[in-house]
Amino acid sequence: MTNSFTCRNFIDGKWWDSTGKTTLESRNPAYKSEIVATFPRSTIADVNQAVESARQAYKTWRKVPAPARAEYVFLVGELLIQHKEELAQLISREMGKPLTEARGDIQEGIDCAFYSAGEGRRLFGQTTPSEMPNKFAMTVRTPIGVCALITPWNFPIAIPCWKAMPALVCGNTIILKPAEDTPACATKLIEIFAAAGFPPGVVNLLHGVGEEVGKALVEHADVNLVSFTGSSATGSQVGEICGRTHKRVCLEMGGKNAQIVMEDADLELALDGAIWGAFGTTGQRCTATSRLILHRDIKAQFTAMLWERTKKLRLGAGYDADTEIAAIINERQLQRVSEYMDIAREEGANILIGGEVAVEGALKEGYFFKPTILDNVTPQMRVAREEIFGPVVALMEVSSFEDAIAILNDTNYGLSSSIYTRDINRAFAAMRDIEAGITYINGPTIGAEVHLPFGGVKQTGNGHREAGSAAIDTFTEWKTVYVDFSGSLQRAQIDNRD
């Protein structure tokens, strides 16, 4: 067994012990007695030190030319390539996901590095005619300041990269507060940022408990922006505080994503999409397919096909080569998924397969839940409305395209969505009528690419987007600049009118 890893905070270009004495642990979800890392339960004094370091560094970092800032980020991408395999092993051990998916998690970080680095030479503004003679008008992007990046455990490399890379290219300084379940992944990532040679204080890492240091960062007067990905309950609290303290806040929260399968769909293709969408990353993605909306003409056949494939899925540790369904992140989450089975039964849903914790052989050493299909689910049931975040998919029957869209939209969330159909008219109507930030035609609800905006409508987000050039909008302010070269006072709206 590998030795446990000791995580420290990274502040002002140096690795520090916390001023507090308490440490916490992360564990291998496939083998719960194995401690993967210990990390500090940081204190308010540590928060203040990190914010001060980021605030001081901002004064000079904002003046470094954006193409030069981008070169550091480009170097992070190159270093991630070099460390990809070692990092993938660590993700699998600490977060649990299969190695192929862990490599994908890092690849997303690499893609984001190269995409964001290109933005360093593209922070375009506009020039536009002035309404006055001998006057020039333009817009330029300016950084926002100190950014607190609060991240979850399910994509321990990709999500911090999505936030940190565009933030840094835009001239902001950052404090990463990673999830308590994946401190070692965050530490390794920040080691790579440190190796890229950012000036001290530009990149900071603060471990600790969300309700303590996360909250303190959100409340801190010298933090100018909060970018948060996590649960809706925590996101609401973060949003409330940022509203009160006038901070820019970018929230990415829950989803209850659906895949529609129409009667004219390629069923094999739709099946591949459903299995990957519902059970990939053990259903622990914010874009996971948690509802399958099936046209009644194909429902029986599709359900049988789904059952057959689900039955064969192999559970195991992420680092075992033939694992398809890995562990659930922790005991609390395993318990939560189990509780939803009781709720499903009470509400009258039918558990077709799975529905229980897996304890066969070595699986009892970890937090494993059998891939689960719930049938006879109706729109009002809690299992159709609440995010479960596990390998659980709810089947819902519809008799028309219009019903399918209505049921898909009948949710408080609006992150990802999908429809399988061969009818081009339905495909375009779905693109128009589905209420979600992301819609896939003939593809599963998961599979975001870094150069396109990522985020959701309704209670999934608060109107911001991550990734793509949309991330630049999140991490910059617009400044409008007028240059009057007439040599006299010119009054807009007055001097150019009779």
Positions in the binding site for ligand ADP (CB under 6 A) = 150-152, 177, 179-180, 210-211, 214-215, 218, 230-231, 234, 237-238
In the complex, the smallest distance separating the C-beta of residue 95 from ligand ADP, rounded to whole angstroms, is 12
Report the residue number, 78 or 219, with the smaller CB distance to ligand ADP. 219
- Kindly list the distances between the CA atom of residue 192 and the CA atoms of 81, 87, 144, 156, 176, in Å, as whole numbers in the listed order: 11, 11, 24, 14, 14
Report the residue number, 219 or 435, with the smaller CB distance to ligand ADP. 219
String of DSSP letters for 113-127: HHHHHHHTT-----E
Number of CB atoms found within 10 A of residue 82's CB: 11
In the complex, the smallest distance separating the C-beta of residue 211 from ligand ADP, rounded to whole angstroms, is 5
Whether 286 is a known active-site residue: answer yes
Residues whose CB falls within 8 Å of the CB of residue 115, separated by 6 or more in sequence, listed in order: 450, 451, 468
What is the 3 state secondary structure string of 341-400?
A: HHHHHHHCCEEEECCCECCCHHHHHCCCECCEEEECCCCCCHHHHCCCCCCEEEEEEECC
Structure tokens at 398: 């519809």
- The catalytic position among 286, 387, 397, 466 is 286
Q: What are phi and psi of 249, to 5 degrees?
A: -140, 135
- How buried is residue 429: exposed, middle or buried, by Cβ count under 10 Å (0-12/13-18/19+)? middle
Report the residue number, 97 or 215, with the smaller CB distance to ligand ADP. 215
Report the residue number, 44 or 441, with the smaller CB distance to ligand ADP. 44
> How far apart, in whole angstroms, are the C-alpha atoms of residue 13 and residue 205?
10
Distance of CA 102 to the CA centre of its chain: 14
**Nearest residue to the partner ligand ADP, using Cβ:** 210
In the complex, the smallest distance separating the C-beta of residue 23 from ligand ADP, rounded to whole angstroms, is 16
Report the residue number, 172 or 234, with the smaller CB distance to ligand ADP. 234
Whether 360 is a known active-site residue: answer no
- The catalytic position among 252, 387, 397, 466 is 252
In the complex, the smallest distance separating the C-beta of residue 237 from ligand ADP, rounded to whole angstroms, is 5
Number of CB atoms found within 10 A of residue 1's CB: 8
State the catalytic residues.
Answer: 252, 286
